[in-house]
Amino acid sequence: MDYLFLYSLCLALGLAQTPALASEPMPSDPPLIPVEDFFRNPKLASFSISPDGKKLAFLKPWERRLNVYVRDIDTGEERRLTSATERDVADFFWKGGDRIAFSQDKGGDENFHVFLVGIGGGEPRELTPFDGVKTYVLDDLEEDPRHMLVSMNKNNPKVFDVYRCDLETGDLTQIAENPGNITGWMTDHKGRLRGAYETDGVNQSLLYRATEEEPFQKLLTTSFRDDFSPLMFSYDNKLLYIASNLGRDKTAIYTFDPDEFAKLPKKDIEPNFEARLSLVYEHPEVDVGRLVSSKKRKVITGVVYTTDKSRYHFFDEDRKKLQDVLEAKFPAYEVAVSDMDDDERRVIFATYSDKSRGVYYLYDRATEKLEKLAELAPWLKEEHMASMTPIQYKSRDGLTLHGYLTLPLEVEPKDLPMVVIPHGGPSTRDRWGFDSEAQFLANRGVAVLQVNFRGSTGYGKSFWEAGFKQWGRGMQNDITDGVEWLIGQGIADRKRAAIYGGSYGGYAALAGATFTPDLYACAVSYVGPSNLFTMLASIPPYWEPLRDMEYEMIGDPVKDKALLEEISPVFHADKINIPLLVAQGANDPRVKKAESDQIVEAVKKAGKDVVYLVKDNEGHGFHNEENRFDFYRAMEDFLRRHLSLRKN
């Protein structure tokens, strides 16, 4: 399950303009863009450069599905490598300079299988042909052309073991068995399995070994509430880079020497463990948890963190110079480097903004040649897109909440229909950038509010923990307070407010319809749980080691029975007196179809209006293009009827 500051709105949003009635388009109103244009597959996407810098691999639609293509940079010759027709290729990577590995699932079941195909063509070969088994590529073993490491729950659906896959013969050799409590594995830069993370449900331990011939030993045990996440080994394989909030609120980047710690008695390690760490970077306002590095020069070059937007801090002058050069070429856009060849000469980067879905470029650092590779959505014109502006407001109990506001173009920001979109997770956050849903709704004349309510990540430990056992309570109040704030600003029309979300956001939509029905004109729940008892009882088997953690964060079905009954919308469906749209994938492994079935049945039993859309070939969210079109067409029709949206 799966996202969101009060600047001077009139100044920041350019709202000082000739007044107009909110319900009538102004003469310069942008055209009503077809719903499909917002949710079409990209023209081209996910560019990756071969290690030798001579070829590009990317995703491109074929038969309405995203497939892998390869293009020669010098000649422009292009070849399609995959022929997926039922499901998009989920992701891919180069395995050496002449092969591509990629993954796919079936019907949204999230049991991803790994395939290998040569760039010269031919049929892809399935490397993990096991029904009902989920596979991760743990390490592509760049320096070993014949092998890679994969992690699978083949022996036990609840846990993942590690296998060495022989790419020539297809043989899978198990090199590590999961005793039942390991939730993650870690390799060093030579592909040696030297780290693991285990849990007892609420406490997690970092396991370490100096060589693969030694047994793992426990270095440190912390509560799951404390972040102590290994990010990577240093390039000499001696130090560990970690993201940690031990002894602090905001997560920061540190290093430590695991061999040194392994020699110390445990009683000497855990007290004031954070004092033994070497600080690399911290930020006073937000968590920092992502590194940027150079494989060629074997150094950490910087960190990435998110305040209102994504920000960089560089330690390395070469990498900073590259960023400065690219940003100087595109001063109006955010610039994100996504890939480099082994020599770090040819660079793939993307530009994006709140009005641009993104453009990929290839830059040659030696010749300074810049080549535009592809615009993800050339059919969407930036002059017709709306601005996404960071906002902040206070919750009823005094928390500062951050989020984003997208307002329709060329319409006075007064008494507008509005949709609040709580993010999924809920342990994630919304970010600034192009948002297809926000742009789609803004084009229909809607003000769109996205809120990083308590329980969202990125704002420190205490803000995250403030969401524990607050589904339908404090978390929901934060969303409600955001709607009331926007109404109080005079921007939103109290009679034309709606709530829509997916996953946890779908739950929040149902909770809004149930617990504050007088606030909303209608609600849309997309793969959202309605009964927290059945949701917790039906989690995927590989989430089983984390069940006790879920109980602490959401509620224990036995100890917190009254709480879960209080906050599960299905038990209060009689309170729903507003129109409801529910959408669900039949193969969803996270939020089972029964979650939507229950609320739809309960609402119908109460004699209320509900529209139910089910897709038999989808899982946790609709990935096939035609299914996305059906859903957003249905949502547009639903919102138009209940919020009186613009029609032209």
Q: What is the pLDDT of residue 271?
A: 61
Separation CA 314–CA 125 (nearest Å): 41
Distance (Å, whole) CA 72 – CA 345: 16
- Cα–Cα nearest to 22, from 648, 616, 371, 493: 493
**Predicted pLDDT at 235:** 97
Residues 334 and 448 in one domain: no
Same domain, 448 and 548: yes
* pLDDT over 90 (residue 17): no
In a domain, 409, yes or no: yes
Task: Name which of 359, 351, 431, 350 is nearest 388 in CA terms.
Answer: 431
pTM of the model: 0.93
Active site residue 620: yes
Query: Are 319 and 294 spatial neighbours (Cβ–Cβ below 8 Å)?
Result: yes
Is residue 257 flagged as an active site residue? no
Catalytic residue among 356, 395, 588, 596: 588
Query: What mean pLDDT value characterizes the chain?
Result: 93
- Judge whether 302 lies within some domain: no
- Out of 503, 525, 530, 568, pick the active-site residue: 503
* Contact by Cβ (8 Å): 448, 440: no
Statement to judge: residues 443 and 544 lie in one domain: yes
pLDDT per residue over 366-389, tens digit each? 999 999 999 999 999 999 999 999
pLDDT over threshold 80, residue 274: no
In-domain check, residue 168? no
The predicted structure's pLDDT at residue 266: 66
**Is 244 among the domain residues?**
no
CATH number at residue 419: 3.40.50.1820
SS3 569: helix
Say if CB 569 and CB 582 are below 8 A apart: no
Tally of domains within the chain? 2
Catalytic residue (choose from 113, 402, 572, 620): 620
pLDDT at position 272, please? 65
Summarize pLDDT for 46-63 with one digit per residue, the tens: 999 999 999 999 999 999
On whether both 579 and 639 belong to a single domain, the answer is yes
Report if residue 82 sits inside a domain. Answer: no
User: How far is the C-alpha of 253 from the C-alpha of 286, rounded, in Å?
Assistant: 12
Q: Are 292 and 300 in contact (CB under 8 A)?
A: yes
Give the least confident one: 14-23, 39-48, 574-583: 14-23
User: Which strands form 252-256's sheet, in the order they lie side by side?
Assistant: 228-233, 240-244, 252-256, 278-281
> Could you give the CA distance from residue 534 to residue 510 in angstroms, rounded to a whole number?
16
Whether 451 and 519 map to the same domain: the answer is: yes
Last residue of a domain, one of 382, 414, 430: 382
- pLDDT on residue 19: 28
The reply to whether 642 belongs to the active site is no
DSSP label at 618? Answer: -
Q: Are residues 337 and 471 in the same domain?
A: no
Residues 573 and 585 in one domain: yes
Three-state DSSP class for residue 512: helix
- Clarify whether residues 338 and 464 are in a common domain: no
Q: Residue 608 corresponds to which tokens in the numbers above?
A: 């209320």
Residue 27, pLDDT score: 44
User: Domain end: 382, 407, 429, which one?
Assistant: 382
- What region does 255 belong to: left with phi over 0, alpha with psi -120 to 50, or beta? beta
If residue 605 lies in a helix (H) or strand (E), which one and from where to where? helix 593-605
- Give a three-class secondary structure readout of 169-181: CCCEEEEECCCCC
pLDDT exceeds cutoff 90 at 112: yes
The reply to whether 458 and 342 lie within a common domain is no
pLDDT at 267 (0 to 100) = 65
Residue 437 near residue 518 (C-beta atoms within 8 A): no
Structure tokens at 151: 């992690």
Considering the domain architecture, whether residues 519 and 584 belong to the same structural domain is answered as yes
Domain enclosing residue 558, as ranges:
386-643
| Percent of the chain surpassing pLDDT 70 | 94
Tokens representing 268 are: 């000497």
The distance of Cα 412 from the centroid of its chain, to the nearest Å, equals 33
One domain for residues 351 and 471: no
- Nearest-CA neighbor of 419 among 443, 395, 402, 401? 443
pLDDT bucket at 10, cuts 50 / 70 / 90: very low
Summarize pLDDT for 421-443 with one digit per residue, the tens. Answer: 999 999 999 999 999 999 999 99
Residue 5 DSSP SS3: coil
- Contact between 518 and 491 under an 8 Å Cβ cutoff? The reply is no
Pairwise CA distance, residues 405 & 4, whole Å: 10
The confidence score (pLDDT) of residue 648 equals 67
Half-sphere exposure of 154 (CA within 13 A, CB side): 17
Give me the phi and psi of 406, to 5 degrees please.
-115, 120
The answer to whether residue 632 sits within a structural domain is yes
Residue 416 to residue 102: CA distance in whole angstroms: 45
What is the full DSSP assignment across 415-437?
SEEEEE---SSSSS---SS--HH
Tell me, what's the pLDDT at 126? Answer: 97
Please report the pLDDT score of residue 263 as a whole number: 81
Give yes or no: residues 519 and 581 share one domain: yes
Residue that is last in its domain, among 334, 361, 382: 382
Per the domain annotation, does 490 fall within a domain? yes
- 186 part of a folded domain: no
| CA pair distance 56, 69, nearest whole angstrom | 8
Helices (H) and strands (E) in the chain, counts: 14, 35
